[in-house]
Amino acid sequence: MSQTVTDLEVHDIRFPTSEQLDGSDAMNPDPDYSAAYVVLRTGHAGSGAEGHGFCFTIGRGNEVMAAAIEALRPYVVGRPAPRTAADLGELYRELTHDSQLRWLGPEKGVMHMAVGAVVNAAWDLAAAGAGKPVWQFLAGMTPEELVSLVDFRYLSDALTPEDALAILRAAEPGRAERTELLLAQGYPAYTTSPGWLGYEDDKLVRLSKEAVADGFGQIKLKVGADLGDDVRRMSLAREAVGPDIRIAVDANQRWDVADAVEWMNALAPFDPHWIEEPTSPDDVLGHAAVRAGQPVKVATGEHVANRVVFKQLLQAGAVDFVQIDAARVAGVNENLAILLLAAKYGVPVCPHAGGVGLCELVQHLSMFDYVAVSGTWEDRVIEYVDHLHEHFATPTVIENGRYMAPLAPGFSARMLPESMAEHRYPEGPVWQARRTTEENAR
Amino acid sequence: MSQTVTDLEVHDIRFPTSEQLDGSDAMNPDPDYSAAYVVLRTGHAGSGAEGHGFCFTIGRGNEVMAAAIEALRPYVVGRPAPRTAADLGELYRELTHDSQLRWLGPEKGVMHMAVGAVVNAAWDLAAAGAGKPVWQFLAGMTPEELVSLVDFRYLSDALTPEDALAILRAAEPGRAERTELLLAQGYPAYTTSPGWLGYEDDKLVRLSKEAVADGFGQIKLKVGADLGDDVRRMSLAREAVGPDIRIAVDANQRWDVADAVEWMNALAPFDPHWIEEPTSPDDVLGHAAVRAGQPVKVATGEHVANRVVFKQLLQAGAVDFVQIDAARVAGVNENLAILLLAAKYGVPVCPHAGGVGLCELVQHLSMFDYVAVSGTWEDRVIEYVDHLHEHFATPTVIENGRYMAPLAPGFSARMLPESMAEHRYPEGPVWQARRTTEENAR
């Protein structure tokens, strides 16, 4: 019997992470990691099924994201609860193609991220209903079902449905074997925890060594504020981890093209694995120029607005690594398009994660990619940041530098009710206490 | 004595234009032209000065835009009322570079358009305070002041401050002469009123002939839903206006690259002046491929998110005409960057207008460009659509197919208080009446 979506709840949840300078980088000095959080319900609270999703923000403006999710209520409440690929494709297309809401993007920024939150909540609902984690729910679909999830509009000069079908069919025979390998070994991770820009040198060195001891083969440093500082920090990190550990660097969009070229030529002697977000995420041609102008590989994607920009990054040969984000584009469906584009162009996908809940979500997409799309984890790593996992019911499990495959049904990103209550903005006790402290300090 | 901004008011104003199919096109079948409207006040209502600005939307989601404007309140209220180029540059930079709000774009979509509304309201306030229309207020600034208004971040591989200064200095000697010409003759316009996709053939023919009789040298048709229909409509329009009137066509992002090439090769025998928005506004490389694949010139810009994408459209040789929009990017400041980029690449700017209030705003930018940037109106036309002007205190004046230069101080886009009261959503009488009609029809 078909269930109906009876409610869409929106919650403004914020963590005061700026107090510790966790997450500080050249463009984001004081983020308060936040989630505009959505719960879809079937039946009454406590009795029916639930689907959870969210947009990730870094504080101010989280209420604007919440308003955007709220604007999607009429498209979701009252419809049959999505269960199949056909249902999930239809919901995604309806939300992205509403002509009036589309004007607010199109397919970018606040409104698009809100669609992503709702689409991901629908995937949580559907996968949980099927009793499977999202990666396995996806990997259990036929190539034809998977292709039906994708919106090929604006992609056909780079990827057709036939191309997608061929990629997915080629990966079909090895699905079972790779699923077993994944369950046994987990998926490779790297860690950004040592390298936040606000950390002192000795903390950077200590955390870099700890990361290697914990089994990570790759770490990442934030760069881009001051070249002298970056040369010193990169040199310290390289000394700390030795020549065999990969060190990626991340400029968080700080530079123009010429700055990026100059800076990376200066850092190149320390063998950086990639330079991430050297410039504007909208600048396809700029990324291509950065890639051509210096020897370090180029990565980007966490702020790339949609599949059309990813398509061009690949067409222009502008990136060596595609960094999908689970909550920036329109959810699982659009990320599937991006995984297929990357597979078509033979470019490895190394997801962005961190923030709050992004690791929990995006692991499913890389694992699905391994099992059913690219069929490989070579040159691929999922970012890992060790913040805020304790707020989730089924947090990521990292063992020896690898993400262990989640086994719980759904999308692994259901926040604990007590964490939500504590961090509700502006009325939750964490924020009330902070206001009291600030008032007393005046 | 310096005034302070004491209030920021936000209004959700919507016009039920979908009832008439005015504004219908291949992607937007039923727009309700709307404004998320902002008023900055200095001193008390009724006594102090005001600055008005807005985001344009086509209905649903206008409340999300309003929430985004509201999120900017703390950056505006309490600061000195902007009066000079330095003030207006500082406000623009502060609003676009707030690190937490920037995450919601960056510089695109809902949050960016909200910044544009507030920046434009600040320009209205400052120009009105100086007793000048915005085009003349701008054209009275020195090249150095104008350069200080621009954010060159991500532009320096295409346009440096030195480049901008050289362009502005080269245009300086002719400013007075061109101002006189503009005041005497007005600025060339074209009209889209005949060509909405929802209009019957005989209405299209009648309105096309009327446009020519009214003195317009260019009209525009919406295309993209059905090739057979478009060939018929284009043929009828060409027959109606004769060979000497330019007919632009507009696909409103309906096509993939191959569709655009096929369609425009089929329409080419009717000599279209340009094809507008053939594909996704994000697809720089797609536009370049469309331009290379068929003989009709390419125009785009009304949905282009920011100066970085415009930069690439010019770098890639993807467009023959740059179509700025007054309310899509971050206001006058970012549009100044785009005008300078277009001047650097020698590409004419033909603004998008229509909607509600967009003609009123954007005329100032083209007139300023004529006087102080490109120094020419050759190959340049501002779009004109004859809808909803009656709701403004100083509506556009069109004579013999040209925009007459606005003389009233400010940005010409202050909506009449009674129009705002009538069309307030959801509580205004127009919307109450519509709900009653709908309920009675059930």
Contact yes or no for B101 and A60 at CB 8 A: yes
| Residues B188-247: tens digit of each pLDDT | 999 998 888 888 999 999 999 999 999 999 999 999 999 999 999 999 999 999 999 999
Report the candidate in A21, A398, A18 with the shortest Cα–Cα distance to residue A211.
A398
- Helix (H), strand (E) counts: chain A: 18, 12
- Using a CB-CB cut-off of 8 Å, the residues of chain A touching B256 are 153-157
Interface test with A, best of B75, B102, B280 (most A CBs within 10 A): B280
H or E, element range at A13: strand A5-14
Query: If you measure CA to CA, which chain A residue comes closest to B61?
Result: A101
Question: Which of A60, A96, A262, A314 to mutate against chain B (most B CBs within 10 Å)?
Answer: A60
pLDDT at B1 over 60: no
Give the pLDDT of residue B383.
Answer: 98
> In the prediction, which pLDDT does B46 show?
66
Contact yes or no for B298/B290 (Cβ under 8 A): yes
Sorted by where each starts, the structural domains of chain B and their CATH numbers stand as: 5-133 (3.30.390.10), 175-418 (3.20.20.120)
Q: Residue B33's closest CA among B410, B423, B432?
A: B423
Q: What is the pLDDT of residue A22?
A: 67
Q: Do B99 and A283 touch (CB under 8 A)?
A: no
Q: Is the pLDDT of residue A28 over 80?
A: no
A90-119 confidence digits (pLDDT tens): 999 999 999 999 999 999 999 999 999 999
State residue B135's pLDDT score. Answer: 98
Radius of gyration of chain B (CA): 21
Per-residue pLDDT band for A46 (boundaries 50, 70, 90) equals low
| pLDDT over 80 at A23, yes or no | no
Q: Round the average pLDDT of chain A to a whole number and report it.
A: 96
With vertex at residue B285, the alpha carbon angle to CA B282 and CA B287, rounded to the nearest 5 degrees, is 75
Helix (H, G, I), strand (E, B) or coil at A266: helix
A300 Cβ contact list (under 8 Å, min separation 6): A276, A277, A278, A281, A287, A313, A318, A319, A323
State whether A154 and B64 contact (CB < 8 Å).
no
| Gap between the Cα atoms of B416 and B418, Å rounded | 5
Here the ipTM equals 0.97
Per-residue pLDDT at A27 exceeds 80: no
CB contact under 8 A, A285 and B113: no
Distance CA A359, CA A395 (A): 9
Q: What is the pLDDT of residue A21?
A: 66
Contact A289 B157 (CB under 8 A): yes
Environment class of residue B182 by beta-carbon count within 10 Å: exposed (0-12), middle (13-18) or buried (19+)? buried
In the predicted model, what is the mean pLDDT of residues B114-139? Answer: 98
Give the separation between CA A365 and CA A350, rounded to whole angstroms: 10
Q: Which residues of B touch A253 (CB under 8 A)?
A: 106
pLDDT surpasses 90 at A242:
yes
Residue A1 reports pLDDT greater than 60: no
- Residue B352 annotated as catalytic: yes
Q: What is the pLDDT of residues A342-385, one digit of tens each?
A: 999 999 999 999 999 999 999 999 999 999 999 999 999 999 99
Tens digits of residue pLDDT in B50-94? 999 999 999 999 999 999 999 999 999 999 999 999 999 999 999
Considering only residues A413 and B248, tell me which one the structure prediction assigns the higher pLDDT. Answer: B248
Provide the pLDDT for residue B19.
Answer: 83
- Distance (Å, rounded) from C-alpha A382 to C-alpha A225? 25
| pLDDT of B368 | 98
Query: Chain A: nearest CA to B276, how far in angstroms?
Result: 16
From residue B238, alpha-carbon distances to A114, A230, B218, B234, B252 in Å are: 44, 63, 11, 6, 21
What is the token pair recorded at A367?
A: 């694992």
> What mean pLDDT value characterizes chain B?
96
**pLDDT (0 to 100) of residue A73:** 98
Residues of A in contact with B104 (CB under 8 A): 57, 61, 64-65, 109-110, 113
Q: Which residues pair with B403 in a beta bridge?
A: B187, B398
Contact A111/B65 with Cβ under 8 angstroms?
no
Report d(CA B56, CA B68) in Å as an integer.
13
- Three-class secondary structure of residue A405 per DSSP: coil
- Strands B402-403 and B398-399: what pairing? antiparallel
* φ/ψ of residue A322, rounded to 5: -100, 120
Render the burial of B376-401: b for 16+ CB within 10 Å, e for the rest: ebeebbbbbbbbbbebbebbbebeeb
Nearest to B258 among A59, A100, A157 (CB): A157
Whether residue B17 has pLDDT greater than 60: yes
pLDDT reported for residue A45 = 63
For chain B, the three-class secondary structure string (H helix, E strand, C coil) is: CCCEEEEEEEEEEECCHHHCCCCCCCCCCCCCCEEEEEEEEECCCCCCCEEEEEEEECCCCHHHHHHHHHCCHHHHCCCECCCCHHHHHHHHHHHHHCHHHHCCCCCCHHHHHHHHHHHHHHHHHHHHHCCCEHHHHHHCCCHHHHHHCCCCCCCCCCCCHHHHHHHHHHHCCCHHHHHHHHHHHCEEEEEEEEECCCCCHHHHHHHHHHHHHCCCCEEEEECCCCHHHHHHHHHHHHHHHCCCCEEEEECCCCCCHHHHHHHHHHHHHHCEEEEECCCCCCCHHHHHHHHHHCCCCEEECCCCCCHHHHHHHHHCCCCCEECCCCCCCCHHHHHHHHHHHHHHHCCCECCCCCCCCHHHHHHHHHHHHHHHHCCCCCCCCEEECCCCHHHECCCCCEECCEECCCCCCECCCCECHHHHHHHECCCCHHHHHHHHHHHHHC
Where is average pLDDT lowest: A283-287, A291-295, A373-377, B18-22? B18-22
- Residue A85 CA to its chain's centroid (Å): 22
- Asked if pLDDT for residue B367 goes beyond 90, the answer is yes
Q: Identify all chain A residues contacting B60, using CB atoms and an 8 Å cutoff.
A: 71, 98, 100-101
The two three-digit tokens of residue A438, written as one number: 């600030």
Question: B155 to chain A, minimum CA–CA distance in Å?
Answer: 7
Is the peptide bond preceding residue A133 cis, with omega within 30 degrees of 0? no
- Looking at the predicted structure, is the pLDDT value of residue B130 above 70? yes
Is the CB of B258 less than 8 angstroms away from the CB of A311? no
Task: Tell me how far apart the alpha carbons of residues B163 and A167 are, in angstroms, rounded to a whole number.
Answer: 47
Average the pLDDT over A147-160 and give the result: 98
The pLDDT of A213-234, averaged and rounded, is 96
